[in-house]
Amino acid sequence: MCGIVGYIGHREAYSIVLKGLQRLEYRGYDSAGIALYDGEELNLCKTKGKVSDLKDKFEETATSTKGTVGIGHTRWATHGVPNDVNSHPHYSNSGNLVIIHNGIIENYDTLKKELIKRGYTFESDTDTEVLVNLIEDVMVNEKVKLGKAVQIALNQSVGAYAIAVFDKRKPNELVVARLGSPLAIGIGENEFFIASDASPFIEYTSNAIYLEDGEMAVVRTQKQIKVRKIHDDSLVDPYVQELQLNLEQIEKGGYEHFMLKEIYEQPNAIIDTYRGRMLVNEGIVRMAGVDDNIERLANAKRILIVACGTSWHAGLVAEYIFEDFARIPVEVEYASEFRYRNPIIYENDVVIAISQSGETADTMAAIKLAKEKGAFVFGVCNVVGSSISRESHAGAYTHAGPEIGVASTKAFTTQITVLTMIALKLAKHRGTISDSDFRYHLQELDRIPAKISKVLEANDHIKLIADKYKEAPNCLYLGRGYNFPVALEGALKLKEISYIHAEGYPAAEMKHGPIALIDEQMPVVVIATKKGHYEKVVSNIQEIKSRKGKIIGIVTEGDEAVRDLADYVIEIPETIESLTPLLTTIPLQLLSYHIAVMLGKNVDQPRNLAKSVTVE
Ligand code: F6R
């Protein structure tokens, strides 16, 4: 969480840093700040609120927006409430150093007490202000340069960080470091860009270095970049990666919100996920990460899936798919729970970590634990080069393109697509699926993008339903089998962007408690597609109807039984049961999107949330 941006070079830094912050705002948006060096003075401005508030404040108050060095920060508060003082950048006591930080310094309290004893004072409640003063203290006491002081200070710190530090007495360099939080360095001609991801600098350079955990770099204009290990000072030869990202992918492209754009991108995103991997006519699925480790994966005694949030829901869908097709037992775990119990992991277990961002701290910690215990870790990530993708033994990217709306949409459907392909491959290898069934599944998966486009045509109808139920204080989502995780996901989408309380349940569980909630005020979204326990779900709908609940049915085209009972139905085209989540989830995304827009909520940046959760 938190986005950091920096620039050092020959261009005006202000607009680069400001635009970069806007692109990183998905990472956190409760406060923002910028520090710009104009050749003589540091102009520092920070404020509670969004980057747009920062822009207004900076342009009103700063003596100048000039300068070719600058750093900026957009915050998701951890230590200290979101206010002007706790916002970054933070000065050191002398006013010479200024820092931006994404992460948490866990031993900040001990360090702070030590520094207070030595006469340091603190304005904010943050761990970051402690770190910058620790760096200053090291510089003064050990008479070392900034780079060395940062290194020594970080070796005394426990926690996670991506930082950039600037010393106004040495205005031609920035010192950056990372551990547990991402940091990319864009490399131009005598200029460098620093950012939490590459989006702030893609129009300037397509060459980037992604620092590895435990690495730091001193970037100086006119000089080669030097990367070294923080703990032992050894020099590292950094890998300069060519970026695949383009500007169009990170802009709204005419849509009102990123979330809506990303919902509509799903047909193409899924095609991108299986393009070149699924050869329908030949009846082949080729995935390097799976092919290279086929025996390890196919002979797994058990698959453990670890993930958080929406990715965890994709994991639940995968549990059905793997068990159904590959006949391998699967357990799905919240990464945050898994990492803190003492899980039993056998050497021939395979752990699949699912993460859109590839940076989620709990998922990362879970896979580290699994590796320590000898498991083989397979990552399913969207962000190329992300920490989880690098920490895994093997993996498969979803190739969904950047997902910027905080509520996950295309990440979910592309994760299911990748996991389906993996399950089918393992099933084929293990002989638990017939050749004709295998081919049939590939053909059906290939038809899904067009079917999603068909579901998207129901947008206006879904908008009407949203209007009808937008004032409801609560909402229930029910589904069975493959569509139980979709019910959970539908409820999560509604609560996170509209702040309406919503719960997802397996339809049959309703009578064990939640049915007590049902009255004429309660909208109940029921996924009742023809395949998969249809009659049983129809009975559940009858039970809701008898208690006067309002029913919104997600049904297969041509359905009559549910139509007769429901207040509204949304149709999806027919497909095989295991693929229905790819279709049933679409109307639920649109429903929550429209309700949130109608309620005037900030759909792309819901309160209290951030896109990648890099803290515990
Ligand atoms: C919900 C949402 C979150 C994420 C969760 C995991 O819409 O976006 O629940 O799914 O924080 O994030 P990743 O997939 O990046 O590990």
Active-site annotation, residues? 2, 611
pLDDT confidence bin for 82, thresholds 50/70/90: confident
Which of the listed residues 310, 362, 383 should we mutate to test ligand 1's pocket, taking the one with most ligand atoms within 8 A of CB? 310
Eight-class DSSP state of 180: B
Tokens describing residue 376: 């083989």
- Relative to beta strand 69-75, strand 31-37 is antiparallel
Q: How far apart are CA 310 and CA 497, in angstroms?
A: 14
103 has a pLDDT exceeding 80 = yes
3 has a pLDDT exceeding 70 = yes
Is residue 50 situated within a structural domain? yes
Is residue 613 situated within a structural domain? no
CA of 269 from ligand 1 middle (Å) equals 17
| Domain CATH code at residue 58 | 3.60.20.10
pLDDT for 277: 97
Tell me: do 85 and 217 sit in the same domain: yes
pLDDT confidence bin for 257, thresholds 50/70/90: very high
Q: 124 CB under 6 A from ligand 1? A: no
Kindly report, residue by residue over 478-492, the tens digit of the pLDDT: 999 999 999 999 999
pLDDT for 615: 67
3 state SS for 197-246: CCHHHCCCCCEEEECCCCEEEEEECCCCCEEEECCCCCEECCCEEECCCC
Tell me: do 434 and 500 sit in the same domain: no
Q: 360 CB under 6 A from ligand 1? A: yes
Tell me: do 541 and 492 sit in the same domain: yes
Tokens describing residue 610: 């951030």
Q: How far apart are CA 57 and CA 62, in angstroms?
A: 8
Domain boundary, last residue among 233, 249, 265? 249
Tell me what the pLDDT averaged over the chain comes to.
94
Eight-class DSSP state of 323: I
Q: Give the nearest ligand 1 atom to 493 CA.
A: 7
CA of 160 from ligand 1 middle (Å) equals 19
Q: How far apart are CA 563 and CA 569, in angstroms?
A: 6
Tokens describing residue 551: 């029913």
pLDDT for 571: 97
- Dihedral, CA of residue 142, residue 130, residue 611 and residue 597, to nearest 10: -140
Q: Give the nearest ligand 1 atom to 612 CA.
A: 15
Tell me: do 394 and 491 sit in the same domain: no
430 has a pLDDT exceeding 90 = yes
Q: 478 CB under 6 A from ligand 1? A: no
Kindly report, residue by residue over 139-182, the tens digit of the pLDDT: 999 999 999 999 999 999 999 999 999 999 999 999 999 998 89
Q: 304 CB under 6 A from ligand 1? A: no
- Mean of the pLDDT values across residues 17-31? 91
Q: Which residue range(s) make up the domain with 562? A: 459-598
Nearest one of 363, 298, 356 to 333, comparing CA atoms: 363
Task: Supply the residue whose CA is at minimum distance from atom 5 of ligand 1.
Answer: 309
Exposure string for 370-390, b = 16+ CB within 10 A, e = fewer: bbeeebbbbbbbbbbbbbbbe
Tokens describing residue 464: 């009407």
Is residue 612 situated within a structural domain? no
Tell me: do 86 and 213 sit in the same domain: yes
Tokens describing residue 374: 């000898």
pLDDT for 211: 94
Q: How far apart are CA 428 and CA 91, in angstroms?
A: 60
610 has a pLDDT exceeding 90 = no
Domain boundary, last residue among 206, 226, 249? 249
| Dihedral over Cα of 73, 75, 80, 83: its sign | positive
Kindly give the interhelix angle for 484-498 and 580-598, rounded to the nearest 10 degrees. 20
The one-letter amino acid code at 577 reads E
pLDDT confidence bin for 249, thresholds 50/70/90: confident
Structural domains counted in the chain: 3
Kindly report, residue by residue over 373-405, the tens digit of the pLDDT: 999 999 999 998 888 999 999 999 999 999 999
Q: How open is the CA angle 545-546-548, to the nearest 5 degrees?
A: 60
Tell me: do 233 and 269 sit in the same domain: no
Q: 386 CB under 6 A from ligand 1? A: no
Contact 465, 568 (CB under 8 A): yes
Tell me: do 227 and 116 sit in the same domain: yes
Q: 589 CB under 6 A from ligand 1? A: no
Kindly report, residue by residue over 407-429, the tens digit of the pLDDT: 999 999 999 999 999 999 999 99
| Domain CATH code at residue 550 | 3.40.50.10490
pLDDT confidence bin for 347, thresholds 50/70/90: confident
Is residue 223 situated within a structural domain? yes
- Cite the beta strand spans of 9-68 per DSSP E: 31-37, 42-48
- Mean of the pLDDT values across residues 78-90? 87
Half-sphere exposure of 610 (CA within 13 A, CB side): 24
Q: 612 CB under 6 A from ligand 1? A: yes
Tokens describing residue 358: 């590839």
In sequence order, which ranges of 62-209 are alpha helices (DSSP H)?
108-117, 127-142, 146-156
CA of 309 from ligand 1 middle (Å) equals 5
CA of 401 from ligand 1 middle (Å) equals 15
Contact 22, 88 (CB under 8 A): no
Tell me: do 78 and 186 sit in the same domain: yes
235 has a pLDDT exceeding 90 = yes
- Mean of the pLDDT values across residues 275-286? 96
Provide the residue count of the chain: 616
Is residue 550 situated within a structural domain? yes
Q: Give the nearest ligand 1 atom to 360 CA.
A: 16
Is residue 606 situated within a structural domain? no
CA of 462 from ligand 1 middle (Å) equals 24
Tell me: do 58 and 187 sit in the same domain: yes
80 has a pLDDT exceeding 80 = no
Task: Supply the residue whose CA is at minimum distance from atom 3 of ligand 1.
Answer: 309
331 or 510, which is more confident? 331
What 3-state DSSP class applies to 354? strand
Q: 407 CB under 6 A from ligand 1? A: yes
- Mean of the pLDDT values across residues 553-560? 95
Is residue 608 situated within a structural domain? no
Q: 614 CB under 6 A from ligand 1? A: no
Residue 431 CA from chain centroid, whole number = 35
Tell me: do 519 and 445 sit in the same domain: no
CA of 408 from ligand 1 middle (Å) equals 6
Tell me: do 436 and 493 sit in the same domain: no
Distances (CA, A) of 337 to 78, 334, 340, 362: 20, 5, 5, 9
pLDDT for 308: 97
Q: How far apart are CA 474 and CA 470, in angstroms?
A: 10
Domain boundary, last residue among 216, 249, 282? 249
Q: Which residue has the tokens 């702030």?
A: 200
pLDDT for 284: 96
Tell me: do 150 and 61 sit in the same domain: yes
Task: Supply the residue whose CA is at minimum distance from atom 11 of ligand 1.
Answer: 309
Contact 155, 231 (CB under 8 A): yes
CA of 205 from ligand 1 middle (Å) equals 29
Adjacency order of strands within the sheet including 302-307 = 330-334, 302-307, 349-355, 376-381, 394-397
pLDDT for 224: 79
